Amino acid sequence: MTTAAAVLGGYLLGSLPFGYWLPRLLRGEDIRTRGSGNVGASNVVRVYGRWLGAAVALLDVAKGFAAALLGLWADGALVGVLAAGAAMLGHWRPVFLRFEKGGKTVATAGGATFALAPLTAFACVGVWVAVFLVTRYASLASIATAIALAIFVPLFGYPWPVVVFGFAGAAAVIVLHRGNIRRLLDGTEPRFELRRPRGA
């Protein structure tokens, strides 16, 4: 398998918009017209509750993991990182939604990290859970986890392509959360509720 094929495969995997497809299939609604309009798992949880949101999150993690694993199988860490980056790009701008706005890549990046740097991935999960439980801000937990990704990848001694992925992936997640950062600073970012929305 060539590098180009692995990267293309990673992009197509990342483009699978489960946050759009599952609510469309199970609720008959377009998630882009509800809540924040985002097709990521966080918005699905807010609108439809934790069970549907958890399904979307797991599928988004799985596609990032599969993309990175495909690249690793094709030609090692460098191609794994390229395929993982392509999956994140696909999640952000999915071809199956005509390149319209997708998600903020957190779950997809997390899945890729499980394939590329599993020790870092487990550490990052711990950071996300801890920050979320203390603050109830999913966005702040995601930003803190992105920073942890950049710290833990070199700390655990992974090869240089994975270290580059750690820094680049962290930067991408933080940039895509810039609106959330503004709201956090303004005190207008909504806290996360895990209870099932009324009427959902």
The model's pLDDT over 127-146, given as tens digits with 9 standing for 90+, comes to 999 999 999 999 999 999 99
The pair of structure tokens assigned to 193 is 């509720």
pLDDT of residue 197: 47
Tell me, what's the pLDDT at 35?
83
108 Cβ neighbours under 8 A, 6+ residues apart: 14, 60, 61, 63, 64, 67, 87, 88, 91
| pLDDT above 90 (res 147) | yes
Residue 193 scores a pLDDT above 80: no
Please provide the distance, in angstroms rounded to a whole number, between the alpha carbons at the two ends of the chain. 45
> What's the mean pLDDT in 19-38?
90
Instruction: Give the whole-angstrom CA distance, residue 103 versus residue 108.
Output: 9
Handedness of CA 43, 114, 91, 60 (dihedral sign): negative
Mean pLDDT of the chain: 91
Structural domain boundaries in the chain: 3-186
Q: Is 92's pLDDT higher than 80?
A: yes
pLDDT of residue 50: 85
The pLDDT assigned to 46 comes to: 86
Q: Check residue 199 and give its pLDDT.
A: 46
